[in-house]
Structure 1
Amino acid sequence: MKLLEKHFEIALETPEGITRLRELILKLGIQGKLVTQDHKDESGIILIEKIRIEKQKLIDKGLIKKQKELEKVADEEMLYTLPKGWVFERLNNVIDVRDGTHNSPKDATGINTFPLITSKNFINGIIDFDSARRISEEDHIEISKRSNVEKDDILFSMIGGNLGNQVIVSDNRQFSIKNVALLKFYNKDLTIPFFIKKYTEYLALDIQMKAKGGAQPFVGLGELRNLIIGLPPVEEQKRIVEKINQLILLCDKLEAERNRKNKLQLQINSAAINNLIKANDEITFNNAWSFIANQFDTLYAVKQNVTDLKEVILNLAMRGKLVSQDNHEQSAIELHKEILIEKSNLIKSGSIRKQKELPAVKKDEITYELPKNWKWVRLNDFGTWKSGSTPNRSNSSFYEGNIPWVKSGEVKQGKIKFTTETITDYALEKCSLHINPIGSVLIAMYGANIGEAGILEIEAATNQAVCACNTFAGIDNNFLYNVILSLKNNFISQGAGAAQPNISREKIINTVVPLPPYEEQKRIVNKINQLFELCETLEKKIEQSSKKQSQILNAVLAQI
């Protein structure tokens, strides 16, 4: 323990450090390394004999069934050296291991119904009866013939994602269990419930790693009964439980303090960022930035804060606060006029279709003040926007051609250089598809990827979940890419509510966005790239620091 205490601060700074400490406390406790042994305590060998006698009494009275005798614990099964006075034994020789029903009784309502508890009803170490199904008295009586649950019994989850989760029954209310093991004491004076629970929690860590059943993890009743437990004298069981509880309580307090500090750090960063964004004049902005700069190493030692910083960079970029304006450059108003002329010429030449004219940007759509040479426009004025389609999957002549076909999950690549699927010229002709040129900016419209953006570095078609923009002259495609990234949360909010979240092409082209002069667009993109590179460096440093701390922690724990 001295070695652990020496590096305790490192352990706590490691993301998984407190979890590992809890596991270590459990391990040391059940191996007899947390408390001293007392030679005056009655030995585990005598204790096991007393338990065997109590078990036989229950068999003689017909209260439990006689089972096939379990094999003695072999030397090679003894995974660690026991303290003096302890003994290795099979779990079922220490405690009666049963299970509940594996059937699905019908739901029942009204009086004389009983809760049917599964591991889903184990909430933070207690049983949540309110969320449990209820079954008839007849079904309850039938299930109770094999698993009559009583106060101080231990319930152990046998299946699913909660495998190994446990609770101690706190009262004598009547209920039935399903897909849950029941650990009942032959005599509660000979084994301490909380010690058995702590020991089986330790065993559960290994069970979870080795769980059989594939996609649905499962541990059988026979396997549980044959688990090996190191059993100390009863008085030592009490001391171990007390010490474990003391140390776990300390871990809880340390974790709460760490969470408080992390939350405070996030709040300080959020407030600092908010001050930066809302600054209405240069002095206020500079003061807000000075605070962040002075606290930079502290604020951005947390990965979430770096993620937030990226959002701030995009936000400031869209407000014209990342780079200086140049009054000698063509204004956005003049640029917008040229874009409208270009659009009109493309319509006249038949290159694009004439569409319903969108309304001018209204005052109530403007959310903040732009620099003087910028202009509010709609995304429709950035280029021509088209979505694709998915050819019939049952028609093989549509697929495995030479035309890359982008799906929404691939948009997140940023720079899109390849696709996992291709389509044929025949699909292009028959399925309302078109090839988007290199440099087109893509936005994902459906599902979990809403608002993700990418730029084509290949010519490609898309499915219906992706909208592509071929930008007009005077629009930097990398600037549009960053505009979309800055709108991601807005698009997610617009897409919420449906069974599958989605945004439409109409919502995209109607979105109001700032338009800077063309040369300023390029300067903004360069500045964003520089700052994002810094953010990526920060994230790598945080990951490397965390990895190093984990390595140190693992090295420390390996020596204990």
Structure 2
Amino acid sequence: MSAIQQLLTDHIDIWTAAETEKRSGRGRASGNAGSVYGIKKLRELILELAVRGKLVPQDANDEPACELLKGIQAKKAKLIAEGKIKKDKPLAAITEDEKPFELPKGWEWVRVGQVGHDWGQKEPDSNFTYIEVSAIDSTRGVVSSPGLVAPEDAPSRARKIVKKGTVIYSTVRPYLLNIAVIEEEFSPEPIASTAFAIVHPFCLMPPRYFLSFFRSPVFVRYVESVQMGIAYPAINDGQFFSGLIPLPPIEEQHRIVAKVDELMALCDQLENQHSNAAEAHEKLVSHLLGTLTQSQNAEDFSANWQRIAAHFDTLFATDASIDALKQTLLQLAVMGKLVPQNANDEPASELLKRIQAEKAKLISEGKIKKDKPLTPITDVEKPFELPLRWEWVRLSDIATQITDGAHHTPEYISDGVPFLSVKNLSSGCLDFTDTRFISPVAHADLTKRCNPEFDDILLTKIGTTGIAVVIDDPRPFSIFVSVALIKLPKILIDRDYLSLVINSPFVRQQSEDGTEGVGNKNLVLRKINTFDIPFAPLAEQHRIVAKVDELMALCDQLKSRITDASRLQQKLADVLVEQAVA
């Protein structure tokens, strides 16, 4: 077994456990094998060792690279003489300071332009196979989706000639590693975008060696040192061809390519195993959590919970599983299964009478408008049975106002009253860090119809829909049409309870069902008004909120420990790479 294979197998737990940190989000984030940090680092290590001459043993019988260079010079001169390629401007001599590391005996440092050439450019005059950056499968390093284009439809960037065995390197946003080998004879003639640097290796050198080098951390570091631009960093052809490349004997190049392919296949297997295990784990967690919400009685619930508790540390060891647990806790809360009921609580039916009396008073005072009558909630609409003293209600039954923000874009100013949209709520809380401002006069005009105040509830309704946020900041602000405002009778409803109900899977599904459109999704006010709400006694609302806060805090602690463990695994993976390269 080779040293790199030993490194792979001896530390397989580190390579597969070191996962890339994911941004926290709503719902059950699916695992992604391609994001496993340890395997990504292992791939980089394989390429780093390959181009340093540490992946395969050297063979004293190989013809040294200096002799290969002589053959390259002769071949280059012949192609120039035949008019097949143009004579390049002389490249600067390589200084000792430029060489990033020492090479094995028989290898040589050269510039990319010394060992490869392009095929020039042409304007298409007949149908051609067009290779643009989006046609590259960056994972496999091949052209996966070329287009057939007529000359009259040719983009202005369709100019660079390529042939079988040519390596193409996207010089725009090079960090995306859109690099590929032309591995087949395309018909009609292939032409690549000018976004690519084109290099065709001399003397039948294997193009996949060049592919491995251009994808290696060695060349990535060089590109990062010379690229220009921030949003769309890029390098030019001159910088590309001036880059250094370690040149092994041609026989060793072939051995390197074979070994890289072999080890990358092992990495693919690790990724597939990790992906399959993650998918199976997620399905198991989903099934077991589902047994809790589907429990028919207290005894059934207890048995299902004991089954989960016995394997808690194994089941809840990923961000996705913790997110699933959070959603289940919300669902249990709105089903009345999270805290015990108390026979001394005032029934929700009595609370509803007081809410209706408060709304009637506000209507008579002209402070709110009378609701349009809604159809009663049918038994078909009730997906589960509520505890005693709970009631099913429509959201508009318990709200004093449901409206949305400005239907026109106001005039923005550099400083003034904050004007919030969906982006300021999508994290699940009010975020004033990146907001626009309107004048106090414009704000005063908008508040005549829609006046967000402390303790009201906001609901995202365009784009990212269905996120409820309680206003916990006293500063005045206005909202755009993408946000709905829900006002409630003072004291009679726990705002945090209603917010968690709206954020629960049960009402979230209603949000999704009520969202119209494809591109610009819109959760219409009509649907928001008719949300079916499981309404608990007020005292139980308070107990539910307290319990949810307590359990969510524990979930966050679990996530924090998972993150800390993941970072440790990442550091271990980094240390293994550093030791292997040293």
TM-score (normalizing by structure 1) = 0.90
The partner residue of 2:215 within 198, 201, 205 is 201
1:80 maps to which residue?
A: 101
Question: Are the counterparts in 2 of residues 98 and 181 from structure 1 also a CA contact under 8 Å?
Answer: no
Indicate how the Cα distance of structure 1 residues 92 and 492 shifts in structure 2: closer, same or farther if over 3 A, else same. same
**AA of the residue aligned to 2:536:** P
The partner residue of 1:11 within 15, 29, 37 is 15
Matched, 1:479 2:497: yes
2:358 maps to which residue?
A: 342
Question: Are the counterparts in 2 of residues 207 and 219 from structure 1 also a CA contact under 8 Å?
Answer: no
**AA of the residue aligned to 1:251:** C
2:27 maps to which residue?
A: none
2:395 maps to which residue?
A: 379
CA apart distance, 1:355: 2.6
CA apart distance, 1:28: 0.1
Aligned equivalents of 1:186, 1:503: Cα separation in 2: 61
- Aligned residue for 1:184, secondary structure, equals strand
Indicate how the Cα distance of structure 1 residues 404 and 56 shifts in structure 2: closer, same or farther if over 3 A, else same. closer
Aligned equivalents of 1:127, 1:418: Cα separation in 2: 45
**AA of the residue aligned to 1:539:** K
Cα deviation code 1:80-130 (max 9, x no counterpart): 1000000111112111145657x8x7xx9xxx622211121112433234x
The partner residue of 1:268 within 284, 288, 292 is 284
1:172 maps to which residue?
A: 185
Matched, 1:181 2:181: no
The partner residue of 1:151 within 164, 172, 181 is 164
2:441 maps to which residue?
A: 426
2:576 maps to which residue?
A: 556
Aligned equivalents of 1:87, 1:400: Cα separation in 2: 61
Indicate how the Cα distance of structure 1 residues 138 and 305 shifts in structure 2: closer, same or farther if over 3 A, else same. closer
Alignment of 1:406-421 (within 5 A): 406-412=420-426, 416=430, 420=435
Indicate how the Cα distance of structure 1 residues 271 and 395 shifts in structure 2: closer, same or farther if over 3 A, else same. closer
Cα deviation code 1:404-439 (max 9, x no counterpart): 554333335656486745655532443345543321
- CA root-mean-square deviation: 2.8
- Aligned residue for 2:523, secondary structure, equals coil
Matched, 1:251 2:267: yes
Question: Are the counterparts in 1 of residues 71 and 203 from structure 2 also a CA contact under 8 Å?
Answer: no
Matched, 1:465 2:465: no
Aligned equivalents of 1:266, 1:339: Cα separation in 2: 42
Matched, 1:240 2:256: yes
Of residues 382-391 and 225-234 in structure 1, the stretch that sits farther from structure 2 once superposed is 382-391
Question: Are the counterparts in 1 of residues 510 and 531 from structure 2 also a CA contact under 8 Å?
Answer: no
**AA of the residue aligned to 2:59:** D
Matched, 1:512 2:515: no
- Aligned pairs, how many? 545
Indicate how the Cα distance of structure 1 residues 445 and 393 shifts in structure 2: closer, same or farther if over 3 A, else same. same
Question: Are the counterparts in 1 of residues 390 and 534 from structure 2 also a CA contact under 8 Å?
Answer: yes
Alignment of 1:79-158 (within 5 A): 79-97=100-118, 113-123=127-137, 124-129=140-145, 132-136=147-151, 147-158=160-171
Indicate how the Cα distance of structure 1 residues 380 and 459 shifts in structure 2: closer, same or farther if over 3 A, else same. farther
Cα deviation code 1:168-210 (max 9, x no counterpart): 222222221112232223321xx12221221222255236634
2:297 maps to which residue?
A: 281
CA apart distance, 1:8: 4.0
1:43 maps to which residue?
A: 64
Of residues 154-163 and 262-271 in structure 1, the stretch that sits farther from structure 2 once superposed is 154-163
CA apart distance, 1:318: 0.7
Unaligned runs of 5+ in 2: 20-36
CA apart distance, 1:367: 1.6
**AA of the residue aligned to 1:556:** L
Aligned equivalents of 1:193, 1:117: Cα separation in 2: 18
Aligned equivalents of 1:539, 1:156: Cα separation in 2: 40
Aligned equivalents of 1:422, 1:236: Cα separation in 2: 64
Cα deviation code 1:252-300 (max 9, x no counterpart): 1111111111111101001111121112222322222112111111111
TM-score (normalizing by structure 2) = 0.86
CA apart distance, 1:390: 6.8
Quick one: percent identity of the two aligned structures?
29
**AA of the residue aligned to 2:287:** A
Aligned equivalents of 2:280, 2:99: Cα separation in 1: 47
Question: Are the counterparts in 2 of residues 451 and 489 from structure 1 also a CA contact under 8 Å?
Answer: no
**AA of the residue aligned to 2:330:** L
Question: Are the counterparts in 2 of residues 406 and 460 from structure 1 also a CA contact under 8 Å?
Answer: no
**AA of the residue aligned to 1:113:** N
